[in-house]
Structure 1
Amino acid sequence: MAVVDSRTSTQPASVPRAKTAPGKLPGLAMAAAGVALSWGTHRLVPAVPMLTAAVVLGIAAAHLPGVRTRVRGIGKPGLTLAGKRLMRVGIVLLGLKLSLDDVLGLGWATVAMVVAVVAATFFGTLWLGRRLGLRGDQPLLIATGYSICGASAIGAVSEVSGSDEEDVATSVALVTLCGTLAIAVLPLLHHPLGLGDVAFGRWVGASVHDVGQVVATAQTAGPAALGEAVLVKLMRVALLAPLVAAVAMAVRQRRAAAGAPAEGKRPALVPLFVLGFLAMVALRTTGWLPGGALDAAAHTQELLLAAALFGLGSAVHLPSLVRTGGRVAALGLCSWAVVAGVSYGGVLLTT
């Protein structure tokens, strides 16, 4: 009897494990549906980037009656997986959009300008966010999103900082909102600021957050502006790798100073997905990949990031955001003013 009892006592513990295996499928299906809706929205309204639509639809799904219970219940494991794992793969493929030849073709003056814009925006936003008393890693994540490449950068840094999911979702929502506003606001300032098409493109590339938002904004001034905007923007993307490595080192030092146990998980100094990103940059630089392969990778990358951003958007809780909304909005507007102002001055000096 003792043998029978011991066997039967282990069965309840094994049942939950059997149920967790397919537990991520509903959320992944929701993310796939979100991608399809985002693609359809972009096709109907080309001015709305697909990635922006994905975040907005994710936020909407998390608050619509009848849908939110599924999103925050049965769908949560899969949506969390999409927001983390698919984000990593999308960031790796993002490296195929950049080659070292493109960076060198910008000229050292433009490269120095981009580095200065990123540094001023990052450290200025980080300092102000802490002064405003924002919770957790929100200052770090918002600073990263504004200075590098929006939600993709936030996802990358959150992987090594171990940031709270709510902090990540709030930061993504704020950066996406400001980047979306830039699509409407910046073209109105094109001629009043006295910028030619090339200069306007560089300003957009240096100041707008997400790559899709850069394209949507710069294309209003023609192909010359669009080409310059994408090159400058990808230069900012290239700075993602050293920033993630620096954050990982800071996290290590902080844990060591706090006396964290040695057996605790230590963030890699250069995470695997960042090494993958750099490997893709190197591969693109060789020129071995045909245009068709690059196009396929670009489409795949956009789909993966759309699924990841839908997942992150579904984690946004608007009532919680409202409680800190004033401070978060103040930080977002100030950071937007910094990145736009510093980049405008840099463009005037380099063109």
Structure 2
Amino acid sequence: MNRTTLGTRIRALAPGLGIALLAAIIAFGVHTLTPSVPALTWAVLLGIVAANVPVTARILSGTAKPGIGFAAKKFMRLGIVLLGLKLSIVDVLNLGWGTLLVIIGIVIITFAGTLLGGKLLRLPGDQPILMAAGFAICGASAIGAMSAATGAKSKDATAPIAMVTLCGTLAIAVLPLAGHLIGLTPVEFGFWVGAGVHDVGQVVATAQTAGASALAIAVLVKLTRVLMLAPMVTATTLVVRARARRNPATATIEERVLPPIVPLFVAGFLLMVALRSVGVVSPTLIDIAGHAQDWLLALALFSLGAGVRIGELRRGGARTALLALGSWILIAVLALAAVEILQPGS
């Protein structure tokens, strides 16, 4: 790319990236005033609001569109790569094989159940698999990763992002009350939250209400679920490739362009996990990368939220909401059953 082309590209991206950056700054600012709601949740909500206010909607679909699209794809992938630095295989293995198998089972059953439910409800396009990834693994970040890996249309991601954000936000208010009524200990509550809440930030916001011990186990269990992102994305791309090969005449244009078996950003995520696990990354660098990841995901999630049109949600709203509610209940019940089986902290 020559200098003239690069300059043109930067000028095209600048308005959208500037708006996304401003939204991220506002999201983190609001988060300081409302610590119970994660900044990334605010970023998605700001994007949804901006997409449905006529004045800002025109800007987002006009001069800002190239930069918004760039942030939604590229920054999401970079953020997921850096997310790998939060994971250490050593910490995960310390949970024990029995606990690991239970967590993996929760992810797989929730994914399969949500995918099947989406098919039965006849949700359009790739919405079922994106909804399954969001609720089973790690919220909007997983939706972005699965969308990027499978070549899903951006419009298919809008409803899943809105639903997983709404349910995760409701969990912050609902689960502490439910945990108290059920009589869970702090460690049991933390395990339940880590195994059943979608986004990492929402897990932190929910679990911290029960103290440090609840927060510690919640984050560890949640990050173990995040580790499932790589195999689930890889397995899905294998299915997409097999389907395109079996039916080349009926495959869509997106399916004919076969995705790599292991997408580059997933390989980067695994590399970061490996580097963290062998201890070659300093705590200072991990901290810096953590802040960078938060900002990248805030920019990306605002941009993804900016694709959500309330009018479009209404058209398939009842079915989408029903699937979201069913998936939320499914993973919450599975996670609570896991608490009863494993009895963490006892």
Match of 1:295 in 2: 287
Match of 1:192 in 2: 181
After TM superposition, what 4+ stretches of structure 1 lie above 6 angstroms from structure 2?
15-18
Secondary structure at 1:319 match in 2: helix
Opposite residue 77 of structure 1, the aligned amino acid is P
Match of 1:56 in 2: 45
CA distance in 1, matches of 2:283, 2:104: 29
Secondary structure at 2:37 match in 1: coil
Secondary structure at 2:119 match in 1: helix
CA distance in 2, matches of 1:165, 1:103: 33
TM-score by length of 1: 0.93
Match of 1:153 in 2: 142
CA distance in 2, matches of 1:211, 1:298: 12
Match of 1:78 in 2: 67
CA distance in 2, matches of 1:173, 1:145: 10
Match of 2:265 in 1: 273
CA deviation profile, 1:61-108 (whole Å, cap 9, x unmatched): 111232111011111111011000000000000000000111111111
CA distance in 1, matches of 2:107, 2:68: 31
1:326 to 309, 318, 331: 318
Structure 1 21/225 Cα, relative in aligned 2: closer, same or farther at 3 Å? closer
**Do 2:244 and 2:256's aligned partners in 1 also have CA atoms closer than 8 Å?**
no
1:208 to 193, 197, 207: 197
Structure 1 283/308 Cα, relative in aligned 2: closer, same or farther at 3 Å? same
CA distance in 1, matches of 2:289, 2:10: 29
2:90 to 98, 101, 104: 101
Opposite residue 21 of structure 2, the aligned amino acid is A
Opposite residue 181 of structure 2, the aligned amino acid is P
Match of 1:23 in 2: 12
CA distance in 1, matches of 2:79, 2:265: 9
Opposite residue 185 of structure 2, the aligned amino acid is G
Give the Å deviation of 1:289: 2.0
CA distance in 1, matches of 2:331, 2:9: 44
CA deviation profile, 1:154-176 (whole Å, cap 9, x unmatched): 11111121111111122111101
Q: Does 1:34 align with 2:10?
A: no
TM-score by length of 2: 0.94
Match of 1:164 in 2: 153
CA distance in 1, matches of 2:96, 2:126: 35
Gapped runs of 5+ residues in structure 1?
1-14
Give the Å deviation of 1:288: 2.3
Number of aligned positions between the proteins: 337
Structure 1 59/233 Cα, relative in aligned 2: closer, same or farther at 3 Å? same
Structure 1 132/218 Cα, relative in aligned 2: closer, same or farther at 3 Å? same
Match of 1:4 in 2: none
Match of 1:5 in 2: none
For 1:210-249, list aligned pairs within 5 A.
210-249=199-238
Match of 1:8 in 2: none
Opposite residue 280 of structure 2, the aligned amino acid is W
Opposite residue 194 of structure 1, the aligned amino acid is G
CA distance in 1, matches of 2:154, 2:86: 28
CA distance in 2, matches of 1:101, 1:17: 43
Higher-Rg member (1/2): 1
CA distance in 1, matches of 2:46, 2:330: 29
CA distance in 2, matches of 1:243, 1:146: 13
CA distance in 2, matches of 1:62, 1:136: 21
**Do 2:137 and 2:228's aligned partners in 1 also have CA atoms closer than 8 Å?**
yes
Match of 1:173 in 2: 162
Q: Alpha carbon RMSD of aligned pairs, Å?
A: 1.8
1:307 to 272, 275, 299: 299
CA deviation profile, 1:314-349 (whole Å, cap 9, x unmatched): 011110101111000000000001000011001110
Give the Å deviation of 1:265: 2.3
Secondary structure at 2:52 match in 1: coil
Deviates more, 1:62-71 or 1:36-45: 62-71
Q: Does 1:336 align with 2:336?
A: no
CA distance in 1, matches of 2:271, 2:149: 19
Secondary structure at 1:225 match in 2: helix
